[in-house]
Structure 1
Amino acid sequence: MRFSLMRFTPLIVCALMIAGCSSSILRSASSQIIAKDRDFIVLHVGNEDARSLARRYLGDKKHYWVIEDANQATPIKAGREIVIPLRTTNPTGIEFSGYQTVPILCYHRFGQRSDRMEVTPEQFREQMEYLKNKDYRVIPLKDLLGFLKGERQLPKRAVVLTIDDGHRSIYKEAFPILKEYGYPATVFVYSDYMNNGGLKTSELTAMKKSGLISIQPHSKTHSNLTVQQAGESRSKYQRRVRQEISIPNDRLTQYLGERPRFYAYPFGDSNDLVIEELQANGIQLGLTVQRQSNAAFTYPYLLHRTMIFGDRDMQAFKKSLVTFKAFRQ
């Protein structure tokens, strides 16, 4: 949501001009409304921050980013005049110059080897600290669904975290760091690995109860769903695909008491048959591992994700955080 004076109503524009030239509005402990219409509030900020203002005027302190995004050139601090949008104006993030994109980062294992598929806890903490220091907003995957439907506005620098397979290092190494930063993430598990070398039911339950972690399916056996195996008839292939989707869905529902809505394809591969089975099972989003960020018009069953590898440096991590794509001139 990028604002300019040209988009404000005449009431708001006049209020900003008057507030900018007048000394009659004195600094106080509480914020003062200068002007208001159905779309915006113009506010003289008292001793409050964006979170307290969001709680008061938007009904939820978690919407603080709406105020910060609308006032990028104006710090939210005492004595400043700011604009508070009261309703969504651009849920798809499409603008004259380009469009918003949301990167989905994909991790696998955590440990001390720092090889291609294993990220060290130190690397992971450094990456989470970078997101915090650079004002990226880590959002749950479920928020992306509303963005793709054109119903939900997201922070300009929104990022989604996902972790595949269900290795126990997720609980031991990544989960404590995510709790420390308060960052939500989606863990995709293949059900044959649960309680069988991978995450235990008790660990899955503990992560879900934290309110930060969503547990979603990554197939039953982690076999490639787009490859018809040697000697496998078409009917057997179709039955295998159906089981690779329905069985983990049923198991996660049994263990966690909630029907899955998202699915990460093994090896990131999908086809029409797999997508049809997802839809038949009530799955709303399908995730690949194609390196690219996601615009509001991205096909929900072929969402892009960027793999985060342990043998890459911070520069590679920074390049994965593409949150706006300009139209070509």
Structure 2
Amino acid sequence: MTAPHFDPDTVTRLIGDAVTAPSMHNAQPWKFVFHVDSGALALYGDPDRAMPRTDPDHRSLHLGCAAALFNLRVSAARIALPVRVQLLPDDAEPWLLATVTIDEAAGTDRELASLHDAVRRRHTSRYPFSEEPVPTALLDGLWAAARLEGCRLTVPDTWHIDTVLGLVRDAEHREEIDPLAREETTAWTSPAQNASGTRRDGIPAAAFGPKASGGPAPVRDFGWANPIPDRGWAVFEKRPQLALLSTDGDTRADWLRAGQAMERVLLRATADGLATSMTSHPLEWPELRWTARDPVAAMGHVQMVFRLGYGPAGPDTPRRPLTEVLDIRE
């Protein structure tokens, strides 16, 4: 009996959903290769889209690629396609991050399928959120989403929130005085106002959000890299609602699990009507990243900082055409 294989049309559909995932500076550092003969779909990291200064060990690159992998899993579940994922399948190919095959024994996950509607609605929002608290029931659902991917989601206490916000400001200052870090950020931001321009990656000006008035913003400000006239000002929430995604270890496999958990949390939040943003800013500096952790938490390696709340959804950001990210090989 012949084992079931992907077909090119299905692969194109899956990758179309996969590439809507978030990535550091919207670099979209992934490459998918579909091997028609074997029926295997491979996910590679793209070293040409790495950031040597601010992501020297490629941790964030792994997170972004894993978020795309999670979207692929959601897309497969939506059409009741059972898939099996193998992380880091070949030590001889370090940029081969995962392989995906059809495996009827794997079954399908209804919870994954229920997240499909959120895949293309999820956008990073760098706009102010209201002061309305996120209900405990929704936070519990996000905690459960992270646990399903083997990670931990922590809602920090007031003192810990103040610590993390202080680290964000410290990271901003470090970037301002580091010419290589400034160069990377400038390269991945664009003065174009929307995703309809010629550039198909990076962060367009429309996604910068307004400048903060009356105090620092709880989001990363990309506007200094490419100043935009008449960008506008706004007052952000006084007490942002943060959550920290952490893992027990800090290996490449941990990063890939964390990236899938990151996207699962984001899609669950979107499905629950929450607006979201993320910041990796303080996590890009090793001495700051260690301070971001909760000293009493069992999982001490912070992989992402989420901001959650009620507010406007962020705009679409550009995406590379599938011809650039998908290679079909006979």
Shorter-chain TM-score category?
A: under 0.3
TM-score by length of 1: 0.26
* Larger RCO (alpha carbons 8 Å, 6+ apart): 2
TM-score by length of 2: 0.26
Determine which structure has more spread, i.e. the larger CA radius of gyration: 1
